[in-house]
Chain A
Amino acid sequence: MTLEMFLITAVKIGLVLFIILTAVAYCTYMERRVLAFIQVRLGPNRVGPFGLLQPLADGIKFIFKEDVIPTDVTRFIYILAPITALVPALMTFAVIPFGDRLEIFGKDISLYITGFNVSLLFVFAMTSLGVYGIVLAGWSSNSKYSLFGGLRSSAQMISYELALSLSIIGVLIQVGSLDLVKIVEAQSGWHGFQWNVIAFQPIGFLIFFIAVLAETNRVPFDLPEAETELVGGFHTEYSSMKFAMFFMAEYSAMITASCMATVLFFGGWNGPGTQLETIGPFIGLAWFTLKVFLFLFTYIWIRGTLPRFRYDQLMDFGWKLLLPLAIFNIVFTATWKFLFHYYDLAPSLPAWMQGK
């Protein structure tokens, strides 16, 4: 690795971390604003124009707040837990392709930090690690609410992780690669017909999106932090910056999930105008951002619309509906691709309908 490449990578990493953390902060702002509008309120609108400086004020407040550490906690794990929650949540952004290659100052720069042949597995490994932070926090707090929050959360996350990982297998059958960049390139074309969500993973996308809601502990699956029964769930005993870090982990997991939904099912950076000279990659980046933003908005929209599940309903939904549906989707996709793509059963059908 030459020094130049090293520097470029370092700059990209710094930039991505900065953008993600800013995006996390403004996610909270967007969430409060949109929820407020859904509930016919105004939301935060006092700090700066339209309340745009609210996340900054919140951040400063978090830093200056008193950090209460209860006497009964297992201290080392208690402090380790928020770090364990946040680090894997951030790590996923190392492989997410935000855009195509770009030429700046005569240098060919890729709009992703790194890419390799199993980057999708890397993302799943990292999102799976997210459960550790929650379990450790719930156990080490030595409080009943925390313990039950942690238990619920871990059971929920591993249940829905099955449906999550099974839902992407349909995409893998179609694309034949675990490389996120190749998955995006397989969906290229300015029109949306090549996107996996249309050809042919609508069921896969549905399962993916629902499972992701559960994975990130969002409404209607937010039982681990159900305020009405568990106070704060696994982070009941946390305050100040440690509490903020659980929040940051949750929101960056949301952004990761939106990015993954975009990459796997909605064509990544593909869209009208990406084939243009020089400004093409920038338009691609804009498309990517727009799609991610729409997913984040949908998250908040769902939160404003749906009530919370009961715990047995949640488990039944995951194990008895999503899991069989995901298996059905795999068999369906495999059969479809086998008949049309491999055996060329109906050559008169348009190419996009045959999954080519």
Chain B
Amino acid sequence: MKRAEDRRSPTAVLHCICAQFVNLVHSLLLQWYHRRVQDPPLYAFIPIALFFAGAVIVPVGLLLVARALSRRVYGDAKSMAYECGVDPVGEATERFSVRFYLVAILFLIFDVETVFLLPWAILFDRLALVGFIEMVTFIAILIVGYAYAWRRGALAWV
């Protein structure tokens, strides 16, 4: 025995689902707007969006003005990559020292540490003794890792 809904065509079902989805997104957005944007936290970010627009207009406008007003003379030698006046040798995007990668990895580790320190610093008064002891322990563990990296020569350049 078939139920009534099953007789609907697939397109009609899809249409119905899409309409419900759009409805849901719309109502969620509305809710979000009323809860968050109208309240101070996100309200303060509207000027940021405006400022972003201004900050993009300035460089793009300058580039366009310069493009409109400057004169261009093309030349083979002129449009070559600079290499002390001789023809460039080989590709420029060649291999480089592995130390740069190492620095990037070390940066990631210590930057995550900073992320952990920030909320602790803000709530220093409220966390009191527990927070203090925990953070000293955290920093001590971190210093051990730092000393290890130093000892293994990860911080040495050359």
Contacts and interface: CB of A to CB of B under 8 A. Distances in A.
Contacts of B104: 155, 158
A151 interface: yes
Nearest to B51: A94
A83 B60 contact: yes
Interface stretch (A9-17, A97-105, A345-353): A9-17
A274 B18 CA distance: 60
A71 B80 contact: yes
B46 interface: yes
B47 interface: yes
Interface in A40-89: 62-73, 79, 82-83, 86-87
Given A143-B92, A177-B122, A330 B47 contact: no
B43 to A, nearest CB: 7
A178 interface: yes
A251 to B, nearest CB: 14
A67 B82 contact: no
A230 to B, nearest CB: 11
A165 B50 CA distance: 27
B62 A241 contact: yes
Interface residues on A, range: 35 or more
A116 B41 contact: yes
A104 B50 CA distance: 23
A341 B125 CA distance: 9
Given A115-B44, A143-B88, A68 B118 contact: no
A86 B157 CA distance: 31
B66 A173 contact: no
A334 to B, nearest CB: 6
Contacts of B132: 334, 338
Nearest to B44: A116
B121 interface: yes
B93 to A, nearest CB: 7
A241 B93 contact: no
A274 B158 CA distance: 53
B81 A141 contact: yes
Interface-centre pick from B93, B106, B142 (highest chain A CB count, 10 A): B93
Contacts of A158: 103-104, 107
B59 interface: yes
A209 B132 CA distance: 27
A137 interface: no
Please list the 8 inter-chain residue pairs (A to B) with the smallest Cβ-Cβ separation, ordered nearest first: A241-B66, A172-B121, A116-B44, A312-B157, A143-B81, A114-B47, A94-B51, A90-B55
Given A72-B92, A94-B48, A139-B93, 20 more contacts: A13-B51, A67-B72, A72-B81, A90-B51, A90-B55, A94-B47, A114-B45, A116-B45, A142-B92, A144-B88, A144-B94, A155-B104, A159-B107, A166-B114, A245-B59, A315-B157, A324-B146, A327-B143, A331-B139, A338-B132
22 contacts: A66-B71, A70-B79, A70-B80, A72-B80, A87-B59, A91-B52, A95-B48, A142-B91, A147-B93, A148-B96, A155-B104, A159-B103, A162-B107, A166-B117, A169-B118, A169-B121, A173-B124, A176-B125, A241-B65, A245-B62, A245-B63, A312-B158
Interface of A: 1, 9-10, 13-14, 16-17, 21, 62-73, 79, 82-83, 86-87, 90-91, 93-95, 113-117, 121-122, 139, 141-148, 151, 154-155, 158-159, 161-162, 165-166, 169, 172-173, 176-178, 231, 236-237, 240-242, 244-245, 311-312, 315-316, 319-320, 323-324, 327, 330-331, 334, 337-338, 341-342
Interface of B: 40-41, 43-48, 50-52, 54-56, 58-60, 62-63, 65-67, 69-73, 78-84, 88, 91-94, 96, 99-100, 103-104, 106-107, 110-111, 114, 117-118, 121-125, 128-129, 132, 135-136, 139, 142-143, 146, 150, 155-158
